[in-house]
Structures are given as C-alpha cells and as structure tokens.
C-alpha cells in the first residue's frame, strides 16, 4: 500500500469521525434544547390549567401524557436527523407492538385503569384512602400507577389496574368518621353509670363532634362482664387524636370514678363426700 493510499484512507477516516462527532454533538444539543422546550411547554400548560382551576389530579395526569408524547416526538426527530427513516421506525414499532403489547398487557391495563380513575374520580390527590389493601394519602395519580404516602410515612406505588379492580375506600369524602372502640366492664360495675360517665367525658374531648352524638352502649357479654361499644365521631383529620384520647378516657375516667377493674372470675365448687 502506497503512502498516497494511506493518506486517502486517513482522510476518509478523519472525515467520517468528524461527521459522526458533529452529528453526536448536534444530537446532544437537540436533546438538551428539546428537553428545555418541553419543560417550557409543560409549564405553560400547567399554568393555563391552573388558571382554569383544573383539579390537581387531572392536571398531573395531563402533564404526564403531554410529557411522554413530546419526548417520543423528540426521540423520533433525533433519529431522523441521524438518517433513520421515521416511517421505517414507525413500521418497526407497529410490528413490534404486537409482541410488546402481549408482554406489556399489564402496563396497558394500568394505563387504561388510570384513565378511568381520572374520568370517574373515586378519589383525588390529597384524599386519605384504602386501595388494593394499602391505606394512605394520595400524592399522585400517574399514567400507570398511583402513589400513596402511608401513615407511617412510607411512599407506596400501586398499579392503577390493581386499584381499579379492587375495593376503594375514600375516607375524605364524608364530613365525619366514626371511631370504633370497646370497653370491658366488670360484672360488678354499674353499667348505666359507666355509660353516662363515658358519654360525658368523651364528648368533652377536643374535635369530638356534638352531632352525631357519642354512642356508648352494651355491645356484648363475656365471662368478665358487659362489653361497651364506644363510638365518638370526628373529622378524618382528627381521627387518631380522638382515637388515642378516647382510649385514655376509658382507662382513666373509670378508674378515677372508682369502678372495679374487670377481672376474670371463676367459681370453684368443692363437695365433700359424706
């Protein structure tokens, strides 16, 4: 190989590397600028929807859809810049869609369920709910999954299809919630006096509603004595405060009033042979 051939090959390699390098730099620039423009577009859409007082749940869902769509267009545009035929790319995507669709059936089901959650609105961002066995405050309803923050401060992501296919309890819809507790009385205790005392003490607790009034009555009996059902009502935001305060009243009020402690009793009959 002559020096002239080597020089020609070197020129070809340098030209090719330079061309690829320039295209890579241009692709990176397109990506950075494209992402910046997408961010601006999303901000404009968000502000426009906020001015229309659109619900935060719908706002986040629309933002997710628009973001995914614009990013797909950006990737297709960059591939077209590199010479990849977008029509061929679309055909490949469509052809692979059948196989991918079978593998992503659950993902697509989550997407469809997310759309139904937005349309039917069994809950919204900020609601305290129980869905798919998880209890917590809804922080985001996404394209494929919903995020909840549980009472022990754990962020939990649940698939939308699992939520939509299971029972949904929304504790934030109704204006108040009932706290269900039990109180064991001794068989020797005056249950009427205990009921009146507990109604008075629990009704005086902070955030316990006057209407509906506190329910205190005999629920059942066991070997120790009567068991009282104790049911104050409160707003959902005050549930645990009322729950713990009521438990404390059950312990302290009866003891201070001199009611006998509930103790298991057992009668032993002794017979002597004549």
**Distance set, CA 202 to CA 88, 227, 234 (Å):** 72, 17, 12
The whole-number pLDDT of residue 74 equals: 78
Joined together, the tokens standing for residue 4 give 């002239």
pLDDT of 132 reads 92
- Interatomic CA distance for residues 124 and 227, integer angstroms: 39
Distance CA 114, CA 118 (A): 6
Per the DSSP assignment, residues forming a β-bridge with 157 are 147
The pLDDT value recorded for residue 34 is 81
| pLDDT value of position 120 | 87
Q: Name 226's bridge partners.
A: 221
Q: Which residue has the tokens 């390699």?
A: 13
The answer regarding whether domain 122-170 maps to CATH 2.30.30.60 reads yes
Q: How many Å apart are CA 7 and CA 17, to the nearest integer?
A: 15
Could you check whether 3-103 and 122-170 share the same CATH topology? no
Contact between 177 and 236 under an 8 Å Cβ cutoff? The reply is yes
Query: Where in the chain are the domains?
Result: 3-103, 122-170, 177-256
Q: Which CATH number does the domain 3-103 belong to among 2.30.30.90, 3.30.450.20, 3.40.50.300, 1.10.287.1260?
A: 1.10.287.1260
Spell out the CATH class of 177-256: alpha beta
Each of the 274 residues of the chain gets a pLDDT tens digit; together they read: 566 656 666 666 666 666 677 777 777 887 888 888 888 888 887 787 777 776 676 667 677 777 877 787 777 777 776 666 555 555 555 555 555 555 556 667 888 888 888 888 899 999 999 999 999 999 998 888 999 999 999 999 999 999 988 999 999 999 999 999 999 999 899 999 999 999 999 999 999 999 999 999 999 999 899 999 999 999 999 999 999 999 999 999 999 999 998 887 666 667 776 5
Distance CA 109, CA 130 (A): 20
């Amino acid at each position: 190989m002559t020096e002239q051939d080597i020089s020609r090959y070197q020129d070809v390699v340098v030209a090719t590397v330079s061309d690829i390098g320039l295209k890579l730099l241009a692709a990176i620039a397109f990506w950075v600028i494209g992402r910046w423009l997408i961010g601006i577009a999303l901000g404009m859409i968000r502000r426009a929807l906020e001015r229309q007082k659109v619900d935060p749940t719908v706002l986040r869902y629309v933002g997710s859809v628009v973001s995914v769509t614009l990013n797909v267009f950006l990737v297709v545009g960059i591939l077209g810049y590199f010479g990849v035929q977008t029509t061929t790319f679309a055909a490949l995507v469509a052809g692979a869609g059948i196989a991918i669709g079978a593998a992503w059936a659950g993902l697509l089901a989550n997407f469809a369920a997310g759309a139904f959650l937005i349309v039917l609105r069994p809950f919204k961002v900020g609601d305290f709910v129980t869905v798919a066995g998880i209890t917590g405050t809804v922080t985001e309803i996404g394209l494929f999954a919903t995020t909840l923050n549980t009472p022990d401060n754990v962020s939990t992501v649940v698939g939308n299809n699992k939520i939509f296919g299971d029972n949904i309890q929304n504790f934030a819809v109704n204006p108040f919630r009932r706290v269900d507790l039990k109180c064991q009385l001794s068989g020797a205790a005056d249950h009427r006096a205990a009921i009146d005392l507990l109604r008075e003490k629990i009704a005086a607790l902070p955030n316990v509603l006057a209407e509906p009034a506190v329910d205190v009555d005999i629920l059942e009996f066991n070997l120790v004595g009567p068991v009282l059902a104790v049911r104050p009502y409160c707003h959902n935001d005050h549930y645990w405060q009322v729950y713990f305060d009521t438990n404390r009243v059950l312990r302290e009020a009866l003891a201070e009033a001199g009611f006998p402690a509930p103790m298991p009793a057992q009668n032993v009959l002794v017979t002597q042979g004549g």
